[in-house]
């Protein structure tokens, strides 16, 4: 049976950025079949599930381009630390994660993402304790339970404290171990089809926790297997100082030396890219996951979002790990992107619609989904969010897009992923939220006790 959403304000994000004041959208299975102003044909409505969108805004599903799901059970720790202090404090705690705790953390984090309008999420998982079990499978199974489209990355670290890196020896691996596990992950989980619910990317952690040999080997394997590449880059001044001291260049120049530029690469944060780096990103099509809340939480700085967009760099939004963004609400990242851009660039540095584009089409472009996700158009996948804006928090706001981006995160009337309902009436339909919350609390307590 087809589904019709009618009498709704539609933010299409199509090529001309149409906004329909009283539109109708039809999808059949997992594919959008019609987007029109006004009602649909009576026969189509008679043969369909019809949802009245009065008082609501319909948008494409939001796309989260950077996260660390396991951190959902370590929120609120090291709350007043710099990035390097935060990492050295939390690595001994994270060394205790295992398959069960990661599954609980991922279930909780992905459930909350869905309630903030997210339909597709990445994850950058790079902590693999030796006795932890199958952590990548644990989070993929969590995503399947919640019902989100998932693009996890098989992360890695091979530079421990004894070798001059930050992570403890217990969570680093050899290059051979990493390459074997990365290849196996792609073969087991990666689905190259256009409507895939799971895709894999490779993601060594950062320039200060991996070797150049690992970066080169990962790039070679990713291109052999036709998957994407991801890492943290230019997040803090400390990192820029590190690459200058160890490699005699900027972070992006270093990544260029190891083959890490191209439209199959996206970098998290990019706070401290200089003019030359921004030009290089644009010329190569390399993307950036902008994480404004985490950047503020850790005092990393304010990314040059306006300059990145103006140069033509693909930019999406990311909530980052829940230990540096305790709320992890993706729509809130669009709000913070506007505020931070304007704080340093003036009132026209980033518009509300540009910010919403980062959360939809921008994220789709960064992850290579631009042909299937990010807008409401016939032929694209039915990943949709029906936001209710007629309540006390949003009624009377003149512009529906401003209501979404500048107001509080609205309640979600319905959220569909691949044509299937994940949220209805502001509640998750796929998992028990209260039971998950209890399991998250227990997993947190157990992990803290384990760390001593």
Residue 162: which pLDDT band, with cuts at 50, 70 and 90? Answer: confident
pLDDT at 336 over 90: yes
The closest alpha carbon to 233, from 290, 279, 179, 276, belongs to: 290
Query: Using an 8 Å Cβ cutoff, are 7 and 398 in contact?
Result: no
Give the structural domain span for 390: 2-60+379-427
| Three-state secondary structure call for residue 229 | strand
- The tokens describing 93, both together, are 């705690």
Q: Residue for token digits 């042909």?
A: 371
- The answer to whether position 169 is within a domain reads yes
- The answer to whether position 239 is within a domain reads yes
φ/ψ of 290, rounded to 5, equals: -85, 125
Helix axis angle for 212-225 and 175-189, nearest 10°, is 20
- Res 164: pLDDT: 80
Among 82-86, 200-204, 257-261, 425-429, name the one with the lowest average pLDDT: 82-86
Mean pLDDT, residues 72-95: 90
Same domain, 273 and 395: no
Same domain, 414 and 276: no
Residue 83: which pLDDT band, with cuts at 50, 70 and 90? Answer: confident
Exposed/middle/buried for residue 425 (C-beta within 10 Å: 0-12, 13-18, 19+): exposed
Output the CA angle 359-69-431, nearest 5 degrees.
Answer: 90
Query: Using an 8 Å Cβ cutoff, are 210 and 156 in contact?
Result: yes
The per-residue pLDDT for range 276-309, each reduced to its tens digit, is 999 999 999 999 999 999 999 999 999 999 999 9
- The answer to whether position 162 is within a domain reads yes
Same domain, 180 and 54: no
- Res 168: pLDDT: 80
pLDDT at 407 over 80: yes
Q: Which of 367, 393, 408 is the last residue of a domain?
A: 367
Same domain, 184 and 131: yes
Among 34-43, 80-89, 282-291, name the one with the lowest average pLDDT: 80-89
pLDDT at 38 over 90: yes
pLDDT at 71 over 80: yes
Query: Using an 8 Å Cβ cutoff, are 270 and 234 in contact?
Result: yes
Same domain, 259 and 315: yes
Give how far Cα 272 sits from Cα of 37, 209, 213, 302, 442, Å: 44, 19, 24, 8, 38
- The answer to whether position 448 is within a domain reads no
Same domain, 235 and 363: yes
- The answer to whether position 450 is within a domain reads no
Same domain, 160 and 270: yes
Same domain, 164 and 79: yes
pLDDT at 165 over 80: no
Q: What is the DSSP letter of 200?
A: -
φ/ψ of 116, rounded to 5, equals: -105, 15
- The answer to whether position 48 is within a domain reads yes
Residue 267: which pLDDT band, with cuts at 50, 70 and 90? Answer: very high
Give how far Cα 150 sits from Cα of 21, 142, 199, Å: 32, 10, 7
pLDDT at 161 over 90: no
| Total domains present in the chain | 2
- Res 191: pLDDT: 98
Q: What is the DSSP letter of 70?
A: G
- Res 169: pLDDT: 84
Same domain, 285 and 401: no
Query: Using an 8 Å Cβ cutoff, are 96 and 129 in contact?
Result: yes
Give how far Cα 134 sits from Cα of 130, 140, 148, Å: 10, 10, 20
Helix axis angle for 433-451 and 99-115, nearest 10°, is 140
Mean pLDDT, residues 38-58: 95
- The answer to whether position 372 is within a domain reads no
How does the average pLDDT of the chain come out, rounded? 96
* Run of H or E residues at 100: helix 99-115
φ/ψ of 17, rounded to 5, equals: 60, 45
* Run of H or E residues at 66: none
Q: Residue for token digits 């950025």?
A: 17
Q: Classify strands 19-28 and 31-37 as parallel, antiparallel or unpaired.
A: antiparallel
Count of CA atoms in the C-beta half-sphere (13 A) of 7: 8
- Res 289: pLDDT: 98
φ/ψ of 442, rounded to 5, equals: -65, -40
CATH number at residue 393: 2.30.40.10
Residue 29: which pLDDT band, with cuts at 50, 70 and 90? Answer: very high
The closest alpha carbon to 445, from 84, 124, 104, 137, belongs to: 104
The per-residue pLDDT for range 136-154, each reduced to its tens digit, is 999 999 999 999 999 999 9
Query: Using an 8 Å Cβ cutoff, are 252 and 273 in contact?
Result: yes
CATH number at residue 94: 3.20.20.140
The per-residue pLDDT for range 307-332, each reduced to its tens digit, is 999 999 999 999 999 999 999 999 99
Q: Residue for token digits 């936001």?
A: 387
- Res 167: pLDDT: 80
* Run of H or E residues at 133: none
- The answer to whether position 184 is within a domain reads yes
Q: What is the DSSP letter of 39?
A: P
Mean pLDDT, residues 114-143: 97
Give the whole-angstrom CA distance, residue 312 versus residue 334. Answer: 18
Same domain, 41 and 163: no
- Res 73: pLDDT: 97
Residue 163: which pLDDT band, with cuts at 50, 70 and 90? Answer: confident
The per-residue pLDDT for range 343-360, each reduced to its tens digit, is 999 999 999 999 999 999
Same domain, 102 and 19: no
Give how far Cα 273 sits from Cα of 126, 147, 204, 219, Å: 24, 36, 20, 22
Residue 170: which pLDDT band, with cuts at 50, 70 and 90? Answer: confident
- The tokens describing 325, both together, are 């963004």
- The tokens describing 209, both together, are 């926790």
Q: What is the pTM of this model?
A: 0.97
What percent helix, strand, coil does the chain show, rounded to 5?
Answer: 40, 20, 35
Same domain, 54 and 68: no
């Amino acid at each position: 049976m087809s589904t019709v959403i009618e009498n709704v304000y539609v933010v299409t994000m199509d090529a001309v950025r149409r906004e329909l004041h009283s539109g109708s959208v039809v999808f059949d299975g997992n594919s959008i079949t019609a987007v029109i102003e006004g009602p649909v044909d009576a026969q189509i409505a008679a043969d369909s599930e019809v949802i009245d969108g009065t008082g609501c805004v319909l948008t494409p599903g939001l796309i989260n381009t950077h996260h660390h799901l396991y951190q959902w059970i370590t929120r609120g720790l090291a709350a007043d630390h710099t990035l390097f202090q935060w990492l050295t404090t939390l690595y001994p705690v994270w060394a205790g994660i295992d398959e069960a705790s990661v599954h609980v953390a991922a279930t909780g984090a992905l459930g909350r993402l869905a309630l903030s309008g997210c339909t597709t999420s990445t994850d950058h998982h790079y902590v693999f304790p030796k006795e932890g079990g199958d952590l990548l499978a644990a989070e993929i199974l969590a995503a399947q339970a919640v019902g989100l489209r998932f693009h996890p990355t098989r992360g890695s670290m091979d530079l421990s404290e004894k070798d001059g890196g930050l992570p403890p020896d217990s969570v680093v691996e050899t290059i051979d171990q990493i390459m074997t596990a990365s290849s196996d992950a792609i073969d087991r989980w990666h689905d190259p089809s256009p409507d895939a619910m799971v895709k894999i990317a490779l993601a060594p952690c950062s320039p200060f926790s991996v070797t150049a040999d690992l970066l080169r080997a990962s790039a070679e394997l990713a291109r052999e297997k036709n998957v994407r590449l991801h890492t943290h880059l230019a997040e803090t001044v400390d990192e820029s100082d590190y690459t200058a001291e160890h490699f005699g260049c900027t972070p992006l120049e270093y990544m260029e030396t190891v083959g890490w530029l191209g439209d199959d690469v996206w970098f998290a944060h990019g706070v401290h890219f200089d003019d030359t780096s921004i030009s290089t990103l644009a010329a190569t099509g390399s993307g950036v996951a902008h994480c404004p809340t985490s950047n503020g939480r850790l005092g990393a700085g304010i990314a040059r979002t306006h300059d990145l967009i103006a140069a033509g760099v693909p930019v999406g939004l990311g909530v980052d790990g829940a230990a540096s963004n305790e709320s992890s609400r993706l729509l809130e990242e669009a709000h913070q992107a506007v505020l931070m851009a304007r704080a340093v660039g003036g009132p026209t540095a980033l518009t509300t619609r540009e910010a919403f584009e980062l959360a939809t089409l921008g994220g789709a472009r960064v992850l290579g989904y631009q042909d299937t996700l990010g807008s409401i158009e016939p032929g694209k996948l039915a990943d949709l969010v029906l936001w209710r804006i007629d309540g006390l928090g949003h009624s009377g706001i003149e512009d529906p897009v401003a209501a979404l981006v500048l107001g509080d995160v609205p309640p979600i009337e319905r959220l569909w992923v691949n044509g299937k309902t994940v949220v209805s009436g502001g509640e998750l339909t796929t998992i028990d939220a209260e039971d998950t919350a209890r399991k998250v609390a227990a997993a947190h307590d157990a992990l803290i006790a384990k760390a001593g």
